Structure 1
Amino acid sequence: MRVLSWNLLWRNGAGIDDLGRLVETHRPDLVLMQEATLPADALTRQLGGFCVRKAMSGQLYGPAVWSPRRFTTTVEPLPVASKFDLPVPLFRLIDVRLALIVCLDGLQIATVHLDHGQIANRRQLRHLLRAHQQLHAVIGDFNALGTLSLPGFADVGPRCATHRAKGLVPLRLDRCLIRGLRCTNAVSLAYGKSDHRPILMDLEPI
């Protein structure tokens, strides 16, 4: 299964045409999106296939999934961050984030956009794994600094920095964690109109 994951950057970021070019070039079986504002029906009109998008509470954006084949989804609300987390949330919103779990070809894959807080994003991951114990992969924008250690999971995403922001060192925030699968190829693509690189993985059952 070829999986493409991309944080689109909701404000003036990547659009339908940008996604369409990637889909045409790389032919993914599954596209996972973070900060998606594009209506699901607009995506299916442009790309065909099937799409689900869920806006986060009080936000214009949220996670989305597209595939040329039918799939089912489940939404999992994640624990809210604390104001005492690091970095201190003076200039960032604390809100309820959602994981979107996709079932396709017998595999369960979650797309996530975790909190910037380093305690919170790890707690959100643990909650997700407790709530969905059959997950094969967690993919998306983890906002996590340093190593992530989840029992039974391997971090197989591209090893390069995937996020750039003005005044900050580029960071590897976009990850792909898998179990019961093998990754035969993992690459990062050009940023395009987003501040995140798309990441592309070829996954197969062990």
Structure 2
Amino acid sequence: MILTAKFRIVSWNLLHTIGAGAAQVCELIAQTQPDLMLMQEVGEAMEALPSRLGGRYARIALPGRHHGLAAWSPHNFTALEGGLDLQPGLIVRRVCQLLECKGFNVANVHLSHGQWLNRRQLRRIAAQMPERAAILGDCNMVGAPFLPGFIDVGARIATHRMSGVVSLRLDRCFLRGLECLQATVLPRGVSDHHPLLVDLR
């Protein structure tokens, strides 16, 4: 199926087990009505999401960690089992969640903090993506992505406040072969990241 109508994606770093839980995610989904909800720093408790909302849910944990990446949608999608292994950081090994839905592919990411490393991880992901693709999530990236072929369409305002003081635009959306109709940042609630909402066509 080729994407011709508006397709809404919301991406949110939940802040492990001390941030947003299933109740807050369900509330955000009810408010925004996304076609795809992407989450980072997701624990096992979020497995309850399908029983509350129905739909399709898939989660992968970061290697050696209790949290990871997850996606929910009221529509069917295909998730690559185990995701895509990325270049490891000094402490945390990283993976990317790859999804196929509505005729294009989506990468759900939580990249390393190193500013050279996260750009290398981003290029590795881009190399695995088809012509129509979206890469969204917590990129931990400051400044230009240096990602040929993709356009940075995320809202140009801060999505995270480091140590409660320094505001940074860490949550991004990169597109190839798709049109961005809208990109905005939503109230962060109990997380330390604001959700990112994008409407695509």
Structure 1 and Structure 2 fold alike (TM over 0.5): yes
Q: Show structure 1 runs of 5+ residues with no match.
A: 84-93
CA RMSD of aligned residues (A): 1.3
TM-score by length of 1: 0.89
Matched, 1:137 2:134: yes
Q: CA deviation at 1:133?
A: 4.3
Q: CA deviation at 1:69?
A: 1.0
What secondary structure, in the 3-state scheme, does the structure 1 residue paired with 2:142 have?
Answer: coil
Q: Show structure 2 runs of 5+ residues with no match.
A: 1-6
What's the counterpart of residue 76 of structure 1? Answer: 84
What secondary structure, in the 3-state scheme, does the structure 1 residue paired with 2:16 have?
Answer: coil
What's the counterpart of residue 194 of structure 2? Answer: 197
Report the Cα distance in structure 1 between the residues aligned to 2:44 and 2:25, rounded to whole angstroms. 11
Query: 1:39·1:53 contact (CA, 8 Å) conserved in 2?
Result: no
1:132–1:185: structure 2 CA closer, same or farther, 3 Å change rule? closer
Quick one: percent identity of the two aligned structures? Answer: 46
Matched, 1:125 2:116: no
Query: 2:22·2:45 contact (CA, 8 Å) conserved in 1?
Result: no
CA shift digits 1:102-122 (9 cap, x unpaired): 101111010100000111101
- Paired residues in the alignment total 193
TM-score by length of 2: 0.92
1:142–1:28: structure 2 CA closer, same or farther, 3 Å change rule? same
1:117-196 alignment to 2 at 5 Å?
117-134=114-131, 136-166=133-163, 168-196=165-193
What's the counterpart of residue 86 of structure 1? Answer: none
Query: 2:85·2:94 contact (CA, 8 Å) conserved in 1?
Result: yes
What secondary structure, in the 3-state scheme, does the structure 1 residue paired with 2:24 have?
Answer: helix
Q: CA deviation at 1:25?
A: 1.0
Report the Cα distance in structure 2 between the residues aligned to 1:97 and 1:20, rounded to whole angstroms. 26
Report the Cα distance in structure 2 between the residues aligned to 1:44 and 1:129, rounded to whole angstroms. 30
CA shift digits 1:19-78 (9 cap, x unpaired): 111111110000010001144541101121110011111101000000001110111010
